[in-house]
Homo-oligomer: A and B are copies of this chain.
């Protein structure tokens, strides 16, 4: 494979000039730059990213880590964040942290030891401190980090406001016994883990909204832990039906669970929204095509992506700034669909 040295001799300039010219840096006449570039093209030159990175300490690569890509919320985030990374002129790489159980710590370490200029982190089992230690100097932006104290730049979904809007919507359509589905199994015990804190934050926000609406908290909380999966949503709905449907309105912690709930109610012969109104959280595309279509609190994915990447670029461009980490809460939209239309 041809190197920059080959380009330089092909263009009859020095190595330094070739390097400058290829990157469009000042200090080279445009005629020379043109000459170099066409020489590079002629011999099929490709930059060796490792060499650049080793020498300059910059790779131009930004890594995004999400738990797993088959979960709609995360692949929506991944798509949006990668788009913004590329728009900022960086190369976007995506990694999954949840492929192997208890594997995340290692992944972060390996990433850190890799060529990323910075890392955007969505949902993890590690706290700020461990992440900082593992990534060592490289800027990190967290998505969905509700742990305190916060030592890293963070972009969060609007748990409180969104859950308020969800509950108020159910009240508006006439629900008087609102339940909350999605107390996460990790809630007890390993509560220091980030993902469980962020789950709990959303869950607590829903409870608070219900209390604020003057409803009975005792009844509102679904007592059993349920993972936020579509299958657990289905099972929970079957169980609720078996119990004689204690609620006429149901707030689900995410859309996947809500879709499972709608399926479960269908199987149990419970009519949505007639017997019970259901609302989700996230705003994944599938909700718009389900029967019934799913009402939801749609997270502003684009806003979330833009905020994360601009936080990252700022740290990259001004590495000497010692400002305390920022915390951004993105917007949401209440989307009213069939599952709450009554």
* A1-31 interface bits toward B, Cβ cutoff 8 Å, 1 = contact, 0 = none: 1000000000000000000000000000000
Interface-side segment among A108-116, A159-167, A188-196, A240-248: A108-116
Provide the bound-state CA to CA distance between A230 and B72, in Å: 15
Are A96's CB and B91's CB within 8 A? no
For this complex, into which size category does the number of interface residues on chain A fall?
A: 35 or more
Smallest CB separation, A118 vs chain B (Å): 15
Copies, count: 2
Question: Within 8 Å of chain B (Cβ to Cβ): is A323?
Answer: no
Residues in B neighbouring A91, C-beta threshold 8 A: 95, 110, 114
Q: Name the contact of A259 in the complex, choosing from B63, B110, B289 (C-beta under 8 A).
A: B289
Smallest CB separation, A139 vs chain B (Å): 15
Are A79's CB and B86's CB within 8 A? no
Residues in B neighbouring A239, C-beta threshold 8 A: none
Known A-B contacts A70-B75, A78-B69, A290-B291; the reply to A46 vs B96 at CB < 8 A is no
Question: Within 8 Å of chain B (Cβ to Cβ): is A129?
Answer: no
Provide the bound-state CA to CA distance between A2 and B113, in Å: 12
Q: Name the contact of A100 in the complex, choosing from B44, B59, B63, B86 (C-beta under 8 A).
A: B86
Q: Name the contact of A115 in the complex, choosing from B1, B109, B115, B266 (C-beta under 8 A).
A: B115
Are B96's CB and A95's CB within 8 A? no
Q: Name the contact of A285 in the complex, choosing from B50, B70, B79, B285 (C-beta under 8 A).
A: B70
Are A113's CB and B291's CB within 8 A? no
Smallest CB separation, A5 vs chain B (Å): 14
Question: Within 8 Å of chain B (Cβ to Cβ): is A183?
Answer: no
Provide the bound-state CA to CA distance between A174 and B99, in Å: 42
Question: Within 8 Å of chain B (Cβ to Cβ): is A38?
Answer: no
Question: Considering only CB atoms, which chain B residue lies closest to A93 in the complex?
Answer: B93
Binding site for B on A (CB under 8 A): 1, 44, 46-51, 53-54, 59, 61, 63, 68-70, 72, 75-76, 78-79, 82-83, 86, 91-96, 99-100, 109-110, 112-115, 133, 136-137, 230, 234, 259-260, 262-263, 266, 285-286, 289-291
| Residue contacts A-B, CB under 8 angstroms, 6 given | A44-B133, A50-B115, A70-B79, A230-B289, A234-B289, A263-B291
